[in-house]
Amino acid sequence: DAGVTQSPTHLIKTRGQQVTLRCSPKSGHDTVSWYQQALGQGPQFIFQYYEEEERQRGNFPDRFSGHQFPNYSSELNVNALLLGDSALYLCASSSWGGWTGNTIYFGEGSWLTVV
């Protein structure tokens, strides 16, 4: 049983460019959340998707957007990249209502470096 898978694992982008990160949730999970983890910090919640809609959002600008597909996989898009967007981007999957008692699993993340 595959866990949460993310791609790519590492990438380098130039300031001002756009990036798309991808996530496939654990089998049986229908909810995907995205987190940003800067070096030396804990992960910060970006947003959560369920039934192809953004359900909750953290304190991130509109440059951060996402999408969920009918097969529950998800994409995170970041436009107009800034140097400060350099971070590990984590995908977490769960069943709907994850933090009300369901187990939440994280992928290994995508390392984004903006130069």
Partner 1 sequence: DAKTTQPPSMDCAEGRAANLPCNHSTISGNEYVYWYRQIHSQGPQYIIHGLKNNETNEMASLIITEDRKSSTLILPHATLRDTAVYYCITGGGADGLTFGKGTHLIIQP
Residues at the contact surface with partner 1, assessed by CB under 8 A: 4, 33, 35, 41-45, 48, 56, 58, 88, 90, 92, 98-101, 103-109, 111
Q: Which is nearer to partner 1, 38 or 82 (CB)?
A: 38
Query: Residues in the chain, how many?
Result: 115
Q: CB of 37: closest distance to partner 1 in angstroms?
A: 8
Q: CB of 89: closest distance to partner 1 in angstroms?
A: 10
CB atoms within 10 A of CB 29: 21
Q: CB of 43: closest distance to partner 1 in angstroms?
A: 5
Q: Which is nearer to partner 1, 14 or 100 (CB)?
A: 100
Q: CB of 84: closest distance to partner 1 in angstroms?
A: 18
| Cα 13 to Cα 7, 18, 66, 105, distances in angstroms | 15, 8, 18, 27
- Within 8 A by CB and 6+ apart from 35, the residues are 43, 44, 45, 46, 89, 90, 91, 92, 106
Nearest to 74 by CA among 50, 95, 102, 58: 50
Q: Which is nearer to partner 1, 34 or 72 (CB)?
A: 34
